[in-house]
Amino acid sequence: MGRPTTKADLLSAATTNYEKLNALIAGLTEQELSTPFDFSNDVKKKEAHWKRDVNLRDILIHLYEWHQLLLNWVQSNQNGEKKPFIPEPYNWKTYGEMNVEFWKKHQNTALVDAKNMFQESHARIMKLAETFSNEELFSKGMYPWVGGSTLGSYFVSVTSSHYDWAMKKLKAHRKIVPAYAGR
């Protein structure tokens, strides 16, 4: 399936990938959960996130914090408070630094709490998406605060696309944990 361009596809893709991600997480062994992520031997994994996130908690917190960005952005702008999606002092060129701050903020967050936070924020995102019509989500120019994109594209980015990213990372981790080879 390509990137969703309708409300129905957005909701379906978000739900499907959320369920796939949770199934993948549920299948992780104790060794996979306790072994820190280390992709340093893979020269193809150059992006900062391959070094930043070292466990499942880090991934779930990253997803949770991006959910918060969307929830706060939509709520603020709907209430007449003009805010950019990426909060100051960050922007689309420096959002990597923001991701590091999210990571630092949650180094004492327990995995069980990260799971709960992620599940609750996913539910809030889905509930919010339901409040918009297909036109409101996928027509350009519907909301001036969205800019040249569509509101729906932001929902896709923080749900199904981001869940794909998380699954890719978890699957890459599984391949390098010794216990996985013995299954």
Question: Are 27 and 167 contacting, i.e. CB atoms less than 8 angstroms apart?
Answer: no
List Cα–Cα distances, 90 to 96, 144, 147, in angstroms.
9, 20, 17
* DSSP at 84: -
CA 15 to mean position of chain CA atoms = 13
What value does the CA radius of gyration of the chain take, rounded to a whole number of Å? 17
Q: What is the mean pLDDT of residues 30-44?
A: 90
Pair of tokens at residue 26: 């549920």
* CA–CA gap between residue 151 and residue 139 (Å, rounded): 8
* CA–CA gap between residue 133 and residue 135 (Å, rounded): 5
List Cα–Cα distances, 162 to 43, 80, 157, in angstroms.
22, 28, 6
Which pLDDT value is given to residue 181? 47
- How confident is the model over 133-149, as pLDDT tens digits? 999 999 999 999 999 99
Using DSSP's 3-state secondary structure scheme, residue 60 falls into helix
Domains of the chain: 7-27+64-175 (1.20.120.450)
- How confident is the model over 67-81, as pLDDT tens digits? 999 999 999 999 999
Does pLDDT of 183 surpass 80? no
Q: What is the mean pLDDT of residues 5-19?
A: 98
Q: What is the mean pLDDT of residues 90-109?
A: 96
